[in-house]
Each structure stands twice: as structure tokens, then as C-alpha cells.
């Protein structure tokens, strides 16, 4: 990662780690149904933007 602040330019390393206390699942996996707005958002987010 490169960043700049008032004292100069810097380079650093960011290491991402898994948090074992969190899990991301779909509504369906959690036994819920997404509403129409959530479904529309999901479909727009996942659809191809290539024309």
C-alpha cells in the first residue's frame, strides 16, 4: 500500500486475515427470503456490465 501524509510518502504492507467469528451467508442459506428490493440490488450487482 502506498500513502501520503503531511510528512511525506510511505509504502506499507497490509495483510488481510480471516475472522473466525464472522461468517457471510446468503439470505437463502440462513433460511430467509430476500425481498424484491434486495433481489433487484443483488441481480444488478452480479449482472455483467459488459455491453
Domain ranges of the chain: 23-51
Are 1 and 11 a contacting pair, CB within 8 Å?
A: yes
Stated pTM of the model = 0.47
Q: How confident is the model at residue 49 (pLDDT cuts 50, 70, 90)?
A: confident
Are 29 and 36 a contacting pair, CB within 8 Å?
A: no
pLDDT in tens, 11-46: 999 999 999 999 999 889 999 999 999 999 999 988
Phi, psi of 39 (to 5 degrees): -65, -40
CB within 8 A of 4, min separation 6: which ones? 10
Q: From CA 40, how far away is CA 46, in angstroms rounded?
A: 10
Amino acid at each position: 500500500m502506498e500513502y501520503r501524509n503531511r510528512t511525506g510518502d510511505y509504502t506499507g504492507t497490509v495483510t488481510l486475515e480471516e475472522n473466525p467469528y464472522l461468517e457471510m451467508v446468503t439470505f437463502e442459506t440462513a433460511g430467509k427470503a430476500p425481498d424484491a428490493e434486495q433481489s433487484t440490488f443483488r441481480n444488478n450487482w452480479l449482472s455483467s456490465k459488459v455491453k
